Amino acid sequence: MTHPDPSSVLDLIDAFRRSKVMFTAVRLGLFDHLREAPAGVAILAPALEVDAGALERLLDACVSLGFLTKQIGLYANTAVAETYLCSVSPHSLTGYVLYSDQVLFKLWGDLESAIREGTHRWKQTFGLEGPIFDHFFQTPQSMRAFALGMHGFGLLSSSKVAAAFDLSGFQRVADLGGATGHLTLAICERHSHIEGIVFDLPQVLEVTREIVGKSPLAGRIQLIRGDFFADPLPPADLYALGRVLHDWPEEKIERLLARIFEQLPDGGGLLVAERLLAPDRSGPTTALLQSLNMLLCTEGRERTIEEYRELLEGAGFRKVEGRVTGAPLDAVLAIK
C-alpha cells in the first residue's frame, strides 16, 4: 500500500522551530552585531552574553535558514538578514519580529480555547482586560520599535496598493490610523499633485515625524493628531485605511465608515488596504492565518471583497472595486 507524502505534516511540525530560531537571533541582537563585521563563536558568545556551544547551534541553524553565511568559522549576514533583520535598516522588520515573539507566539498557544469560545485571548494569555496594544506599547521605546517594524512591513505593500487604482483624480489623501505614513508617501510619490495627511494618535506621530521628515515629500505631507472614532476627520477627497478595518467587528466598522462617508465630497473615495480572502475562503493561506491571528488578538477578522463591498455599500458608497496586488496587502477602492 502506498501512503501519501508526509512532508506537509513534517514541515508544520518543524515550522514553529524555524520561527523561534529567527525570533531568538533577533532578540539577542545577533544580526545587528554581525552588521559590523563577520565574527566567530569565540567573539560572539561573550559579546551577546550567551553560552558558546548553544550559540554555535543557533548560528548554524541561521545558516541553514539562509540568514547567515559561514566561512572558516566566521559568520556573516546574508542580504536578507541585513535588509530585514537588522534594527537600523530602513526596511527592518525587527519590531514586528519582536512583537511576534513577545505577544503573538504566546497568544497562538491559546488558539484551541479561542476556537472553542470564539473570542480573543488577552485575558487568558496575559491577564489583561483591555486591548493588548494598550499594555504592550506604553513606553516610547516599545511604540517606536513596533511602529518601525510595521513600517518595514508596510513598505512591502504600499507601492502596489498605491498603484492598484487610478488615483490621479484626487487632490488630498488623509490616511486614518496612517502610522508611519508609508501608504501616504507611496501615493504622493506616485502622484506629484496629491497632498497627504497622516492622521493618528500623538504617540504614534512621534515616529511618523521621524520617518516622513527624512522623505523629500515631507513638505506635501501634514501630520494631524486624532482618534478616528472620536475626533473630527481632516478634510480630504480620498481617505485611506491600511490594516485598520480588520481590527474591528462590523458595528465599529459601520460607525467609522459612516463618519468617513459623511465627511467625503461627492466623487470622493476610500482606499482600503487589507488582505482579501478568496470568495470561497479557500485561500490565500497567509490571509486565512491572519484571520486566525485577528481572532486571537483583536475583535476583527479578514474578509472577502464581497464582505467589504457589503459594508461599504451599506455605508452609502456606490462603487466598490477590489484588486489583488500580489503583495502582503490587497486594495479596495470605494467611491461616494
What does DSSP say about strands 195-200 and 221-225: parallel, antiparallel, or unpaired? Answer: parallel
Amino acid type, 272: V
| DSSP letter for each residue of 170-191 | -SEEEEET-TT-HHHHHHHHH-
Is 246 a catalytic site residue? yes
The DSSP 8-state label assigned to residue 227 in this structure reads: -
The DSSP 8-state label assigned to residue 279 in this structure reads: T
Q: How far, in Å, CA of 175 to CA of 154, rounded? A: 13
Q: How far, in Å, CA of 164 to CA of 242, rounded? A: 14
Sign of the Cα torsion 160, 165, 171, 176 reads negative
C-alpha cell of residue 146: 513596533
Report CA dihedral (160, 224, 228, 191) to the nearest 10 degrees.
-20
C-alpha cell of residue 29: 541582537
CA angle 82/84/86 to nearest 5° reads 55
H-helix or E-strand spanning residue 225: strand 221-225
Alpha carbon distance, N-terminus to C-terminus of the chain: 61
C-alpha cell of residue 206: 512621534
Residues with a known catalytic role: 246
